[in-house]
Amino acid sequence: MTPEEQLALLYQKFPEVNEQQREQFAALWELYTDWNSKINVISRKDIDNLYMHHVLHSLGVTKMLHFTAGSHVIDVGTGGGFPGIPLAILFPEVQFTLVDSIGKKVRVAQSVADSLGLQNVTTHHIRIEELREKCDFVVTRATMLLGELVKLTRHLFSREGHNALPNGIIALKGGNLEGECTAYKNRVIVEDLYPFFSDEYFREKRVLYLPMQ
């Protein structure tokens, strides 16, 4: 599937995006392919699937929640900016803090945000346990097991909530999550991304929510 065909699927799923947002999504292709020629931000075997496997997957967070304007979201282990950059495009009135312990990947995320003119993105080259900010939600894409994520981020959550769900963790994950969710089985919510996204890639992809207030 070509990048243009992948983009068409994205716009079909999110018809509310305006012209500026479409331009920003379209610009991701050149930005990430250029960076990927210098730094292995995305697997070089997978860069052709940028929109399907990375951008659209990042937007799978919306299967669980659409963030309210004025919310603050921290992307833990953002790498080159996923899921934070696509979400920041989709939610321009939400503040996103992108955090990673690998400096060169943080520089990519900041460069992409700057190139797109995203005023709602800040980045930090720091270990998440050292970050001293308060947020409504932590988002992440397959960075670590849920128990470890809870331990390292519990200090980040604001007591005040602004959204339809209480403040907490929203994680994009794949495969069987039963083992890592056992300790939180009475609180955790897991939603399949397929057929919300109809491509076969998403058949084993899930989005997980755990309240932390």
Query: Which residues contribute to the annotated binding site for S-adenosyl-L-methionine?
Result: 77, 82, 128-129, 141
What is the arrangement of strands in the sheet containing 72-76, beginning at the earlier edge strand? Answer: 121-125, 95-100, 72-76, 137-141, 168-174, 205-211, 189-192
Residues 6+ apart with CB under 8 A from 204: 174, 175, 194
Give yes or no for a contact between 59 and 87, defined as CB atoms under 8 angstroms apart.
Answer: yes
Q: How many CB atoms lie within 10 A of CB 112?
A: 26
Give yes or no for a contact between 77 and 140, defined as CB atoms under 8 angstroms apart.
Answer: yes
**Could you tell me where the beta strands, DSSP code E, fall in the chain?**
72-76, 95-100, 121-125, 137-141, 168-174, 189-192, 205-211
The one-letter code for the residue type at 34 is D
Give yes or no for a contact between 14 and 59, defined as CB atoms under 8 angstroms apart.
Answer: yes
Residue with token string 């963790």? 169
Annotated binding-site positions: 77, 82, 128-129, 141
SS3 label, residue 170: strand
